[in-house]
Every structure is written in structure tokens, then in C-alpha cells.
């Protein structure tokens, strides 16, 4: 019960045939589901998304070529050649769209489709987060044929529609979700749904449809608020000087900056927010990467 695309990579030092599902990222970043170690690939290059009853590839930065033609998105089909860069292209080997995909629901947890490897956090409120989060009430992943689940402290087991998990007094149900219904809501976990950024400088709220708001405070909130209200890329030095005005040592300022950026991206991943929201350009600048439909509310 999993929608997926199987690809063949044509790139220097790559000969893989990875399988990707909705919500998986292609890029140079270490956190990408398909990491392509090549200077022509951006950190967050493209997303696989389930939309309109089809699996699509969405460009995140710039465009790609589909059979030689530029495109910002494409419905994936067997035989396609997707050129991400002059030296990097993907061949679509297989596309699977089952009638139903697996989801979870519980009191306080809206029905959500499972994507890749993810973890169930009890909150409150309960929520699904991408990746294997340490200390999660349950971790879930696909083995290619179906879904597996491990409740904290227990063995791995198969998870099918109708199964129930008892987690700290919360009854979580596994349900079959029609692909058409899942596609109508877009890829879950808040990864590529519209995002509202409520910037208040010392605090910041990230809001998404069907998901609990994410509240940030302190330096994380100040950094995103600064980028959101400035509306332009900033150098790490100018942003760091704003956050730590009393730090005169440039090397110490850089260490503080690197730690903050790593902690912020880890927090975004844990909360199910796309980790490329705050993006480094590679030339000393950092910017807020807004997708179509994203909105900034300035209350600073």
C-alpha cells in the first residue's frame, strides 16, 4: 500500500536505482532521501509529491528538463528522462499507484498518510514527524512490500489497515486511504503544503492545514523573523551580528551560527516542516525559501 517511483541515476560516481515515495527530497543535502553528491545539484533540488491522483516531481530551485523540455513539475511516467543538471539525469523505471495507501488517525491526530520513514510523537497534540526520532512512541517505515512499525521498547511488526496501537493511553488506528483522497490534500507531514509564517521576532508560529502549529522562540524565531521581514538573502555575518551583537570574535560568531543553523534544521525536520525553509546559498548567504502558497505575516 505505497505509492512509489523507481529511478536510475546517471551521474558521476552514482549507479543506484533508488525507490522514492511522496514527500521524499532529491538534493545535495545529507538529509535528502536521494542524496546526489554533485556540485551542479542544489541542497534541495526537487520533491516527489502525490497530487491529483498522480506522482509528480516538483522543482524546488530553478527548473529541470523532461525529455529535453524545461519544466517546473512533471507527472512521472515510465521511460522519462529527467535532467536535473548537465551531468546528472534520472531515468524513470517504474511508477506504482495502488488503489489505497496506509494512513494513521487518532483523537487529536487528523488522518495522515504515512510517508517514507516517520515517527509518532504523543505531544500533546500527537503528531507524525519525518525520520526515526529518538524517544518517539512509535517508529514506522516501509520495507517496499508493506509497512512496519516498532512501538517503543517492542519488536518490529507488520502494520495493516484495521490494526490498532495503544500508546500511552492513545488509541491509534491504521486506515486505508484512497489515493485520490490522499492526493487531494497533497503530500502530508507539512512538507509541501502551504505554510503561514507568523513572525513576532522573539516568537514565531508556523501554521499548516491539518497540522498543529509549530511554535519557535529565542534565536530560531529571531533568525526566521529577520529573513521573513527583510525579504532578501542575508550574509551569515550580518545575520549573526544581529543575533549576537556583543560577539566581536568572527570565528566564535561563525561557530554560534553553525550550531544555530544545525539545531534549527533538526527542529524543522522533527516538526514535519520542510528543512530547506532556511536555505544556505553556498556563497555565504542565507535566505528564506518560500513555496507557492506560502504567506508571511509580519507582526514584529
Write the pLDDT tens digit of every residue in 47-89. Answer: 887 766 678 888 876 568 887 888 878 889 999 999 998 889 8
- Could you give the CA distance from residue 270 to residue 171 in angstroms, rounded to a whole number? 22
Q: Fold for 4-96, please state it.
A: Tumour Suppressor Smad4 (2.60.200)
pLDDT at res. 212: 66
Domain regions of the chain by residue span: 4-96, 100-183, 196-298
Query: If pLDDT is split at 50, 70 and 90, which confidence band does 191 have?
Result: very low
Q: Is 294 exposed, middle or buried (0-12, 13-18, 19+ CB in 10 A)?
A: middle
Residue 190 has pLDDT above 50, yes or no: no
Residue 154 has pLDDT above 60, yes or no: yes
The average pLDDT across 268-276 equals: 75
Q: Fold for 196-298, please state it.
A: Arc Repressor Mutant, subunit A (1.10.10)
Average pLDDT, the chain: 82
Tens digits of residue pLDDT in 115-142 = 767 888 887 778 877 777 888 899 988 7
Query: If pLDDT is split at 50, 70 and 90, which confidence band does 151 have?
Result: very high
Same CATH fold, 196-298 and 4-96? no
pLDDT at res. 232: 80
Dihedral-angle region of residue 233 (phi above 0 means left; psi in -120 to 50 means alpha; beta otherwise)? beta
The average pLDDT across 9-14 equals: 84
Amino acid at each position: 500500500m505505497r505509492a512509489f517511483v523507481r529511478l536510475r541515476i546517471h551521474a558521476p560516481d552514482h549507479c543506484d536505482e533508488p525507490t522514492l515515495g511522496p514527500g521524499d527530497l532529491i538534493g545535495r543535502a545529507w538529509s535528502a532521501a536521494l542524496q546526489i553528491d554533485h556540485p551542479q545539484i542544489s541542497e534541495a533540488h526537487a520533491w516527489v509529491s502525490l497530487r491529483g491522483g498522480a506522482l509528480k516531481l516538483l522543482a524546488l530551485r530553478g527548473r529541470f528538463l523532461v525529455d529535453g523540455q524545461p519544466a517546473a513539475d512533471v507527472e512521472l511516467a515510465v521511460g522519462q528522462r529527467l535532467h536535473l543538471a548537465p551531468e546528472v539525469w534520472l531515468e524513470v523505471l517504474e511508477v506504482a499507484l495502488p488503489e489505497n495507501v496506509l494512513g494513521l488517525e487518532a483523537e487529536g491526530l487528523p488522518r495522515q498518510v504515512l510517508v517514507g520513514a516517520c515517527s509518532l510523537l504523543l505531544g500533546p497534540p500527537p503528531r507524525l514527524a519525518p525520520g526515526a526520532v529518538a524517544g518517539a512512541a512509535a517508529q514506522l517505515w516501509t520495507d517496499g512490500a508493506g509497512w512496519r512499525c516498532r512501538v517503543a521498547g517492542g519488536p518490529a511488526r507488520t502494520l495493516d489497515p484495521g490494526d490498532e496501537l495503544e500508546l500511552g493511553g492513545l488509541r491509534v488506528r491504521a486506515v486505508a486511504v484512497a489515493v485520490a483522497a490522499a492526493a487531494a490534500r497533497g503530500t502530508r507531514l507539512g512538507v509541501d503544503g502551504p505554510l503561514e509564517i507568523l513572525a513576532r521576532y522573539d516568537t514565531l508560529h508556523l501554521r499548516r492545514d491539518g497540522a498543529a502549529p509549530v511554535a519557535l522562540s529565542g534565536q530560531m524565531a529571531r533568525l526566521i523573523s529577520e529573513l521573513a521581514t527583510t525579504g532578501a538573502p542575508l550574509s551569515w555575518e550580518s545575520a549573526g551580528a544581529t543575533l549576537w551583537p556583543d560577539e566581536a570574535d568572527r570565528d566564535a560568531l561563525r561557530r554560534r551560527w553553525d550550531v544555530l543553523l544545525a539545531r534549527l534544521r533538526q527542529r524543522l525536520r522533527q516538526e514535519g516542516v520542510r528543512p530547506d525553509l532556511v536555505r544556505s546559498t553556498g556563497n555565504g548567504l542565507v535566505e528564506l525559501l518560500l513555496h507557492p502558497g506560502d504567506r508571511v505575516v509580519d507582526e514584529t
